[in-house]
Structure 1
Amino acid sequence: MRFSGFVTLICASALAATAGLAVSTSALAKEDPVVKYPETKTVDVVEEQFGEYISDPYRWLENDVREDAAVADWVKAQNAVTNSYLETLEGREILAQSMETLFDFDDLDTPVAAGGKYFYERKSGGQNQAVLYVRDGAEGEERVLIDPAGWSDDGATALAGWKPSGDGSLLVYAVQDGGSDWRTLKILDVSTGEVQPDTIEWAKFSDLAWMPNNVGFLYSRFPEPEEGAAFQSLNADHAVYLHIIGMDQAKDSKIYATPGQPELNHSAELTSDKEWVVITSSSGTDERYEITLIKVDAPKLETRKLVSGFEHDWRLIDGVGDTLYFVTNSDAPRLRVVKTDLGADNPQFTELVAESDAVIDDAMIVKDQLIISYLVDAKSQLSTYDLDGTATGTLDLPGLGQVGNLSGSIKGSEGFFSFESFNRPTTVFRYDTSASPTIWAAPSLPFDPAAVEVTQRFYESKDGTKIPMFLVHLKGQDLSQGAPTLLYGYGGFNISVLPQYKPAWMAWIKAGGVFASANLRGGGEFGKSWHDGGRLQNKQNVFDDFIAAGEYLKRENITPENGLAIEGRSNGGLLVGAVANQRPDLFAAGHAAVGVMDMLRFDRFTAGRYWVDDYGYPNKQQDFNNLLSYSPYHNIRQGVAYPALIVSTADTDDRVVPGHSFKYTARLQAMDTGAKPHLIRIETRAGHGSGKPTDKIIEEYSDIYAFLAQAIGLELD
C-alpha cells in the first residue's frame, strides 16, 4: 500500500460491525471451571538478611529453561493447564478476529534522510515484522530494502535498529532473534541490496553512528558471555567500539570504556556535521549522565570530559562546529535547553530556553529553528524557537495525543515527527520551517477514530496528590451505567505513559469495555519530582496511586463492583503483583506481564542491576526493608481470596528473566488464595516484548483479554 496524505475513515457503524461484538454492562463474571495446578517441587532455601529469615522454596525456577530440563518440564506442565483453561473461554476467537482487523493498517515510522534518500519502516496488516523501505527523493518510488519475513520460520527474528551512512550508500542494521536484547549487526549496500560480509556479535543497548566518509561506524557491546549464560548473566564492561568496513570484528578498536567502573553503560552519537563524537555514560536507569567528547579529526581519537559527576540528565540535540545543544534538568527539574562553545578555554553552558511549567519531552533542530516537544498534563505540545531562544510559536496538532520520533538536523532543511493517540495510529508529519507541518504519511484505518472518545480526568491519591487518568470508550457510551473496565499502569523509571494506539486495547473498547490509563508517580509526566515521588522509599506512592484509580472508577460508577481488571508490563507487572497483594478486594482480575516479582534478587540477573536507581539495593538495609514490604513474591497472603490472575512471560526474556514470573506463580498457586484461577502463560522464542511478531501478539492478547473478560463480565458474542 502506498503512503497517502489522507486518513481514510470508515463510518462509525462499521466499528461495531467489523467483529460483531455485543456490549454487556452486567459485569457479572461467569462461573470459572475448576483448575488443577501442576505440583511444583520446593527446595529448602532460607537465607538470613538483616535479621529476617527469607524463605525461597522456588529458587530452582530461576534456572534457564534452555539449560535445565526440570524447569522446561515445569513450563510445559503450566502451559498445558493454562491452555486447557483458555480453551473453555467464549469469545477468544472473536477477540482474535477483531484484533486481526484492527492490525490491518500501515504502522508507520518517521523517515531518516541521508544523501537525498529517505529511509523508513512500515508494517502493514498481516505482516509479522516491520519492513525497511527507501525512496530516492521525497517523492521517489519506494522500494523494499530489508524485509525480515524470511529470516525465521516463526517470524520471531526482527529488524531492531538501523542507521544509513551520511551519503545514504551504506546502512548498518541490527538483527534481534527471539525477542532477546542481544543484537547482531550487519551492513547493506543500499544501491544493490547486497549484505556485506561484516558481522558484529554481542551488541546490546547500542546506538549506531557512522564516521565520516563511510570508513566505519561506532557501536556498543558487552564481552561475549560464557557458554550457556547469555540469557541470565549480569551485563558488565560495556564499551564503545569502532568497526572499520571490511575488517573482522576481532580487529575493532575499543575507543571508550571504563574498566574501573564495569557497571557503566556507554552510547555514542555524532553531531550532524560529523565533527564531534558525543558519548553518554550512565550507571543505571536514572537520568544521570556523564558526557565525554571525541574530536573526529583528532589524532588517536582522544577523549575529553564535558560533564562529570552523574548528577543530571543530559541529552544531545545536535551540534554544528564547536557549538553543541543539549536538553538538561541541571537547575531545572522540568528541563531546559542549553548550548556550549567547545572552542572556549573553559566551556560553559548558556541557557537558551528556560524551564517552564510544562516538561520537555524531546527536541530537534531543523536548520535555524529549535522545535521542542513538551508534556502538558501527559499530552504533547510542540513549540518553536529561534536558535537564540526566542519563542516563535506553537505548532498545531490533530488533538489530544503524543508526539514522538523527532527527526531533524541542523544541517538539513526539513524535519519529521509522529503523532498518535488512543484512537488514532501513527501519522507522520513533515516540517520545513517555512510553513505549518504537513502530513507525510498516514494510514488508512479499519475504524473511525471519531467513534471512539478519549477524555482525561484527575483524581486524588491517598496523600491528596492529583493524578491524571485517560478514559477511552465508544462515543455515546453512558459511563454512569458502569462497564467492565481495563485499568493500565506503569509508574517507574521516568517513563511517561502517553496516549498511544494499541490494537489489543481497541479490541477491548470495541467489545464495549472501558479502557483507563493512569499517569502514576514514578513516571516522567511532570518532571523529576514526579519520578522521585514514585521511586526508592517513595515506591508505595505508585501502588497508592493505582489503587486510588480503581477506587475512583468505582466511586464514579464507571466500573461496576466486580468489573475492574488491571494490567501492567515489566515494572507494571510488579505494580499488578503488588496491588493484588495489598488490595485483592478491589480488583476482579489482573494481568501481570513480564513482571519484576522478586524484589530481593532482581539485581542478580542480566539488566537487573541497572534498576537499583528506582528500586534501591537489596543488600542495603533501608532499601531491603522497603523492597521486602511490597515484593510480590514475598507478600502473597495466605487465606485471602485473590482476583483472577494471569501472568505472562517468555522463555527468552533476558531483560526481566522469566524466573520472576515462574516463582511468583508457583507460590501463588501453592498458597490458599481463593477459588479464582491463577495461571501463567509462557511464550516460546519471545523476549521482553520488542520484536514479537504480530501473529504472536494477536494470539497472546486474545487469550489474555478473553481471560479478563470472563472474570469481569465483558460478554464477547
Structure 2
Amino acid sequence: MHRNFRVSFSFQRLLDFLPRTSHPRFVCLREMSKIADQNPLALSKKVIEPIVYPTIRKDEAVEDTFHGTQLKDVYRWLEDPDSTETQVFVTSQNNISRPFLENCNEWKKINSKLTKLWNYAKYGCPMQHGKYYYYFMNTGLQNQSVMYQQTSLSGESKEFLDPNQLSDDGTIALAQKSFSDDGSFMAYGLSESGSDWIKILIRNTETGKDLDEILNKVKFSEISWTKDNKGFFYCRYPEQSGKTDGSETSQNEHQKLYYHRLGESQDKDTLVVEFPEEPNWRIQSVVSDCGKYLILAIVKDCRDNIVYFADLEPGKAISSKLNTKKVVEKFEADYDYITNEGSKVYFRTNKSAPNYQVIIIDFEKPEENNWETLIAEHKTDVLDWVRCVDEDKLLLCYIRDVKTVLQANCLRTGKLLREFDLEIGTIVGTSGEKKYSEIFYNFSSFLSPGVIYQFDFKTPEQPPKVFREIKLNLEGFSRENYIVEQIFYKSKDGTKVPMFIIRTKRDTIKPRPCLLYGYGGFNISMLPCFGLSGLMFIDTFDGVLAYPNLRGGGEYGEKWHNGGRLLNKQNVFDDFQAAAEYLIDNNYTSKDRLVIQGGSNGGLLVGTCINQRPDLFGAAVAQVGVMDMLRFHKFTIGHAWCSDYGNPSEKEHFENLYKFSPLHNVHTPSSNEEEYPSTLILTADHDDRVSPLHSFKFTAALQDAVRNSKYQKNPLLLRVYTKAGHGAGKPTSKKIEEATDILTFMSKSLNVDTINLKDEQ
C-alpha cells in the first residue's frame, strides 16, 4: 500500500492520517482475472427473500444543539464499542449479512476462483542499505509479504523478517521500517489487527536478531536515525485511560517527539520536542542528509504544515529538549523536505504554486524573500513527489492527465537531464538514495501487475532495464483482449472530469454490469493501477469498470483539490453522479446494472450518493465510510479531516455538512424511485482511522427508515469483520474473504448470471 521510498514528512506521510482504505491511489483495480468467454449475458431469475431487520433501540433523550439547531442522536449508544448492547447489534447484523453472502453457490465459486488467481508471486523494489540489498516478496497466498536480504542483486536471498511467523492468522503486519545510516540496524513497526498503533522493534542486520527494547504508544510517527547510528527520533502519545488496541474511539492528542538510544529501555528515552498548547499538532521529523539538522514539519490536519529545525551537534549526546527555530510560520502550504547542500535545504512545495515546485531555503537566512526557485511549477502537470539520488540528481514524478511521468533533473541547476519512457500507468514503488547511483522503480497499469526497472546514473547511456516482471498465474490472459480508454465527461456545473473505462475488446458497447469506483478527497490522486478483483468483475459478470477522477483529488493540483473540499464538497458527489449518468447515457450500462463502490472518504461518497440519487444505482458498497459528519472530529484522528470536510463547530461548515451527512439525510422511500439500491456496508472492529461507529449508526438509521416501507425491497446489509482495521496490513486471507463478499453481493444485487465461473477445487 505504501510506497517503498522515503518522502520524509511529505504529503505522502499525511496519508497516514486520512480516512481511507488501501491507498486510493493504488486501489483502482483491486486484483485480476482471465478473459471472459463469448456467451452473451442473460438476465437471472434470482429472487432475494425479504429481510427482517433486527429492532434497534432509539434513545430519544440524546440531543445536541448546533448553532441553534436541535438534532437528536438516537443511536449515540452505538459509539461505545465495548457495550454489551453494541456487541449484540454487531452480532445481529452479521447474522443477517453472512448467511446472505455465504450461503449460496456463488460465494464458494468466487472464493475458489479468487484464491486461485491471487496465487502468483508478488515483488517489491530492491533497496540498498549498507552492505545488503533487501526486497519484499509474497509467494502468492502468504498472509504477509516476507522481507529478504542478499549481499548482491544476483546473490542468494535469505529471509530477514517474516511477519507470518508472528501470528497464526496473519494479523500482525509490518507497518514501517527505517535503517540506520550504515545499514547495521533496522527499526521497524508492527501493527496488530489493522490498528494504526504500532510497537517499534530494532533488528541487527548482521545477526538477524532483535535488541531487547520495545517502544510502545507509537502512532503516526517517522523513525529518523541520527547519522552516528546510535539512535533515532520517533513520536508517541501519552498514556491514556482505557485500551489502545485500535478498537477504542478516544481522540489522539498531545503527540511528542522522543529520542531513543540503542540498548536502552523506552522509559529512558529523551523528550526533545513538544507543543503542550497545541494538542492536535503532529510532529513529522527527518534528520537531514548531512546529519546536521533535525527538520520538523508540524501538521494540524491533512494539508499545509509549518517548518522548524534544530541543530544536531555531532558527538554531543541528545539528553534534553532541543532548541528549535521556526522557518515557516503559517499553515498555508505544504513543504516536503527533499535534501540539502550545507545550509541550503530543498523543498517540494505548493506555496504560490498549486501544481507544486522545488524551492531552496537557506537555513542561515530563512526569510521568505531569500527563497530561491530551482524548478518552477509546471503549467499543467502536477509534481507528485521528488527524491534526491546519485548525490546531485533529483528524481521527479509528475502527474499528467492522470498518468505518471518520470524524469531526472540536476540538483545544482534544476536542468532536465533525462526523461524515462513510460506507458499509461503509475509508478507504485521506487527505491534509491542520495548516496547511491542506482534506482529501481515499479511500474503498474490497469492490465499489468508490475514491471520493476533498474537504472544506474553511472551509465546514463544505458536505458533502464527490466529487473523483474511480475507475472500472473492466469491461463489464457492477454492484455490485448481489453480496452482501456480515458474519456472526459461534464459534471453538473460544466466542469470536465476525466474517467478511465476498462472493458473487453471483443464486444460492441451495450448495457452491461458496471462497477463505478470513486474517492474524491484529500488531494489524493487515483492513478491507473492493477488489481485482481476489478478484472474479475469484467471476467465473471461480463462487466465494465469505471474510475472517475473526482474533484477533491490531486490529479490536477491544489485547484482540483479545492474544488471538492469544504463548501465545495457537493461537487464531488455531483461529479460521481454525473459519471453514472454518462455511463448510462452512453450505453455502457443501465441503472439496474450499475454498482458504486468507495472506501473511507469514498464510503462517505457512496453513503451520500445513495441518499441523494437512490434511483441512479442498482447496488452500492460502502467500505469503512465516514457517515456521521457532525461528530467525525470527536474520534481518534478525525479532527485532522476538518481541512477537507470543515468543522461542525463553525456555523457555515455545520450547515454545509448537515446537507450531505449520510446519517442525517436518510429517508423513508415513498415511491419506487426513492427506494435505496441494494447496499452493503463494510467495517472492521479494529478500525481506529474511521471508527466502525460511523457504519453502525448509518446502518441503524437506514434499516429503521425502510422497515415499514412497501417500496423498499432491496437489502441494506452491514458486515463487520473481526481482527481487522482500516485496510493497511490486512492479511491475504482477509483480503480474499472481503473481495469474495463484495463480488458475491454484486452478483446477487445486480440480478445477473455469472459466466466463466466453474466449480473449482
TM-score, normalized by the shorter chain, greater than 0.5: yes
Distance in structure 1 (CA, Å) of the matches to 2:473 and 2:507: 20
CA apart distance, 1:322? 2.4
Q: Report the AA paired with residue 341 of structure 1.
A: D
User: CA contact under 8 A between 1:316 and 1:325: conserved in structure 2?
Assistant: yes
Q: CA deviation at 1:80?
A: 0.8
The whole-number CA distance in structure 2 between the counterparts of 1:23 and 1:514 is: 16
CA–CA distance in structure 2, aligned partners of residues 49 and 416 of structure 1:
53
* Partner SS, residue 211 of structure 2: strand
Q: What is the match of residue 15 of structure 2?
A: none
- Aligned mates of 1:449, 1:216 — CA distance in 2: 49
Residue 186 of structure 2 aligns to a residue whose secondary structure is: strand
- One of 534, 556, 573 as aligned partner of 1:543: 573
Query: Using the alignment, how far apart are the partners of 2:38 and 2:235 within structure 1?
Result: 51
CA distance in 2, matches of 1:692, 1:583: 32
Distance 1:323 1:33, change over 3 A: same
Distance 1:235 1:153, change over 3 A: same
Do 2:684 and 2:726's aligned partners in 1 also have CA atoms closer than 8 Å? yes
| Cα deviation 1:289-338 (Å, max 9, x = unaligned) | 11111222266543222222111111111223323211110111001111
Contact 2:33 2:535 in 1 (8 A): no
Does residue 107 of structure 2 align to residue 80 of structure 1?
A: no
Amino acid at match of 1:444: K
Cα distance per residue 1:382-428 (max 9 Å; x no partner): 1221221112332111x211123343322221222221112211332
Q: 1:57 aligns with which of 74, 98, 101?
A: 74
Counterparts of 2:486 and 2:104 in 1: how far apart (Å)?
33
**In 2, distance between residues paired with 1:22 and 1:104?**
26
Corresponding position of 1:274? 291
C-alpha distance in structure 1 between counterparts of 2:334 and 2:739, whole Å: 36
SS in 2 for 1:214: coil
Letter paired with 2:633: D
Q: Which residue of structure 1 lines up, in the alignment, with residue 25 of structure 2?
A: none
The aligned residue for residue 150 of structure 1 is: 165
Shift of 1:450: 3.5
Aligned to 1:9: none
Q: Say how many residue pairs are matched.
A: 697
1:364 is matched by which residue type in structure 2?
R
User: Is the alpha carbon distance of 1:410 and 1:577 closer, same or farther for their aligned partners in structure 2, counting shifts above 3 Å?
Assistant: same
Write the distance in 1 (CA, Å) between the matches of 2:366 and 2:645.
41
Name which of 469, 487, 499 aligns with 1:469. 499
Superposed, which structure 2 residues align to 1:573-652 within 5 Å? 573-639=603-669, 640-652=674-686
2:180 is aligned, of 154, 165, 177, to 165
By how many angstroms is 1:340 displaced?
A: 2.7
Worse-superposed segment, 180-189 or 405-414: 405-414
Distance 1:179 1:705 in 2: 22
Question: What is the CA–CA distance in structure 2 between the aligned matches of 1:178 and 1:683, rounded to whole Å?
Answer: 10
Larger mean Cα displacement after TM superposition, 50-59 or 102-111: 102-111
| Native 8 Å contact 1:452 1:474 kept in 2 | yes
Partner of 2:733: 695
Amino acid at match of 2:595: A
1:333 to 316, 341, 354: 354
Q: 1:132 & 1:600 partners in 2: Cα distance?
A: 43
SS at match of 2:212: strand
- Which whole-Å CA distance do the structure 1 matches of 2:54 and 2:340 have between them? 59
Q: Secondary structure at the match of 2:92?
A: helix
Name which of 475, 485, 488 aligns with 2:514: 485
Partners of 1:363 and 1:406 within 8 A in 2: no
Superposed CA deviations along residues 466-508 of structure 1, whole A, max 9, x for unmatched, are 0011111223232x21210000000011111111222221221
Q: Is the 8 A contact 2:195 2:686 kept in 1?
A: yes
Instruction: Report the Cα offset of residue 557 of structure 1.
Output: 0.3
Quote the sequence identity (%).
37
Q: Using the alignment, how far apart are the partners of 1:187 and 1:337 within structure 2? A: 34
Equivalent position amino acid for 1:462 in 2: K
The equivalent position to 1:349 in structure 2, one of 350, 353, 371, is 371
* C-alpha deviation, 1:23, in angstroms: 6.0
Judge conservation of contact 2:34–2:536 (CA < 8 Å) in 1: no
Maintained 8 Å contact 1:29/1:712: no
| Structure 1 gap segments, 5+ residues each | 1-13
Stretch deviating more after TM superposition (447-456 or 422-431): 447-456
C-alpha offsets along residues 228-266 of structure 1, whole Å, 9 cap, x if unaligned?
366211011112211100111011112222111111111
What is the one-letter code of the residue matched to 1:239? K
Whole-Å Cα distance in 1 between the matches of residues 449 and 366 of structure 2? Answer: 49
Please give the residue correspondences for 1:473-552 in structure 2 after superposition, counting only pairs within 5 Å.
Answer: 473-478=503-508, 480-511=509-540, 512-552=542-582
Distance 1:141 1:23 in 2: 48
**Secondary structure, in 3 states, of the residue corresponding to 1:195?**
coil
Sort the Cα spacing of 1:323 and 1:139 in 2 relative to 1 into closer, same or farther, 3 A.
farther
Decide whether the 8 Å contact of 1:364 with 1:406 is kept in 2: no
Residue of 719, 743, 750 corresponding to 1:681: 719
Other structure's SS at 1:700 match: helix
Structure 2 match to 1:11 = none
Q: 413, 419, 429: which one pairs with 1:394?
A: 419
SS of the residue aligned with 2:408?
strand
Task: Find 1:314's aligned residue among 335, 343, 355.
Answer: 335
Alignment of 1:288-307 (within 5 A): 288-297=304-313, 301-307=322-328
Q: Which residue of 1 aligns with 2:115?
A: 100
Cα pair distance change 1:452/1:116, threshold 3 Å: farther
- Could you tell me how far apart the structure 2 residues matched to 1:338 and 1:440 are? 33
In structure 2, give the amino acid aligned to 1:423. L
Q: SS of 1:541's equivalent?
A: helix
Q: Which moved more, 1:197-206 or 1:136-145?
A: 136-145
Alpha-carbon distance, 1:272 to partner: 2.8
The corresponding residue for 1:366 is: 389
Deviates most, 133-142 or 377-386: 133-142
User: Contact 2:518–2:550 at 8 Å: present in 1 too?
Assistant: yes
CA distance, structure 1, for counterparts of residue 634 and residue 590 of structure 2: 42
Match of residue 14 from structure 2: none
- Alpha-carbon shift at residue 15 of structure 1 (Å): 5.5
Counterpart CA distance in 2 for 1:234 and 1:21 is: 52
Residue matched to 2:446: 422
Q: Cα–Cα, structure 1 residues 104 and 345, in superposed 2: closer, same or farther, change >3 Å?
A: closer
The question of whether the paired residues in 2 share the 8 Å contact of 1:24 and 1:713 is answered with: no
What letter is aligned with 1:32? Answer: I
1:220 aligns with 2:235: yes
What are the Cα deviations for residues 58-93 of structure 1, in whole angstroms up to 9, with x where unaligned?
1111112xx211111111111011112113444222
Contact kept? 2:327, 2:367, Cα under 8 Å: no
Matched, 1:43 2:64: no
Q: Is the 8 A contact 2:490 2:496 kept in 1?
A: yes
Can you list the C-alpha shifts for 1:339-386, whole angstroms capped at 9, x where unaligned?
233345858321111111100011122222222110011111112212
SS in 1 for 2:512: coil
Decide which of 405, 408, 421 is 1:381's aligned counterpart: 405
In terms of mean alpha carbon deviation, does 35-44 or 618-627 score higher?
Answer: 35-44
1:453–1:473 CA contact under 8 A, matched in 2? yes
Aligned to 1:6: none
Per mean C-alpha deviation after superposition, the further-off stretch among 81-90 and 197-206 is 81-90
TM-score of the two chains, using structure 1 as the length reference:
0.94
The one-letter code sitting in structure 2 at the alignment partner of 1:650 is: A
**Residue 442 of structure 1, aligned match among 428, 449, 469:** 469
**C-alpha contact (below 8 Å) 2:33/2:536 kept by paired residues:** no
Give the direction of change, closer, same or farther, for the CA distance of 1:111–1:32 in structure 2 (3 Å limit): same
